[in-house]
Structure formats: C-alpha cells, structure tokens
Amino acid sequence: MLMRRRAIGTVAYLGGLPALLEPFCWAWSQLVQYNAEYLCEPGEYVHYDRATVSLHDVARNMLVDRMAGDWLLQLDTDHIFEPDLAARMVSHMRTYDLQVAVGLYRHKHPPSTPVIYNWNADATFALPIGDWDRESGIRALQIGTAGGGCLMVKRSVFDRIRTELQEQPFTRFQAFGEDHAFFKRCHALGIPVHALVNVEAPHLALRSMPMTDYERPDAALLQQVEAGGLR
C-alpha cells in the first residue's frame, strides 16, 4: 500500500547510540501514532528509519542517504518528546520558511544550558546561548550551531552540501563533532539555522542515588514508620 502513497518526510533515530530505552520507546510510539492520525493527508505517509552504527557521523550520513520525502527529522535515543513533535516542527518550518530547525534541550551536566550556540566572528568557536528575550514572542530563534539530538533538515540543504561543497553533510572535520560539522557547512553556504524555542525534546539522564543525597525523615515520621502506621 505504501507504494501508492507519497512520503512527506522521514523521522529516524540513532539506534547505535547510548539510550534510555523505555521512556524513548514510549515517546516514539506515541509520535508514530500521532503522525499517522494528524500529520499526513490522504495518500501521504511518514517514512521511519534507524541507524544502528555507533559512529555518529556515519550514522547520520546513512540516514540522509536513505531518507524519503522533503525533510528528515533525526532524534537521539536519550531524549523524550511530545507526540506532536514532528507535526509542530513541520508547521514551524512552513510558517517561517525554515531550512534547518532544532528543538530545544539542555546539557545533561551543570550548568545545563540549552544546547544551542552562536559562532564567533570567524566561525571557529561556538559560543553558548544562555537565554533570549522570552517576552518578544519569538518562535524561531536564529542561531549558529547546536546539538543534533532533535534536528529537522530539508532535503534541499543536503543536496546543496553535496553538490556545492562535494562533502557528506555530517562527516567530521577538524575538532568539530558531526553535528557542529554539519552546521559549519550550513554557515559556509549561507543557510540560516533556527532553534524552535517552544519545541522541546528534553534529554534523559541516568544518575546515581548515593546515601549522601538521602534526607533523613523527621522524628515524627520515623515514629509512624516504626509503629506500622505508614504504608
């Protein structure tokens, strides 16, 4: 049946990366259901894919090679997101005529700033964006680079990188990781990049629970427990 329908885009995850599987899998299943019910028009479908290699640049380039439709949304498996994530990102891309957009999430470690940056003057160093004017009503904040954990890109961007730069979109170079390397190529081609400040895909993080973090209950609560009054 899919052969008779048109793929509008691709949603894929990097399956070869470290993950917190249960919360990610639940979020993924709800996303798939939402897309089927609300994102697609009659005769359309969303293509789903996964990369199973652990090398980030190889994995992302693999997904670009196999994408179907006009856009590719890549998700890391240590994130969660609302069911309408893809639909909202597609809507923002259309409304603001965006070519590259990222959903917001924070670093796992303090100070846990958003994983979005501006380039310095010669685009050799990424400067963290700690905040923005939240009262302005802005929805698409122009940035320089970001993490790739929630990244939507139009096919035309990948085509330009391959044709004009003769490079793969996510291949690493210099000291840049695969995500910053991609955004560096966008910068070289004058392709604007935006963060969707009202779209989130929060990081999931494991943490230990040592006894040094344990807050002892007060005496009254201890007496209840010892008396069997607390279940």
Using one digit for the tens of pLDDT, what is the confidence trace for 129-144?
Answer: 998 888 888 999 999 9
Average of per-residue pLDDT across 112-141: 91
pLDDT tens digits along 75-100: 999 999 999 999 999 999 999 999 99
Find the mean pLDDT for residues 180-185.
98
Q: What's the pLDDT score for residue 22? A: 87
* R_g of the chain, CA atoms, integer Å: 21
pTM of the full predicted structure? 0.88
Each residue's pLDDT tens digit, 201-227:
999 987 777 877 767 666 665 566 566
* Structural domain spans, the chain: 2-226
CATH code for the domain defined by 2-226: 3.90.550.40
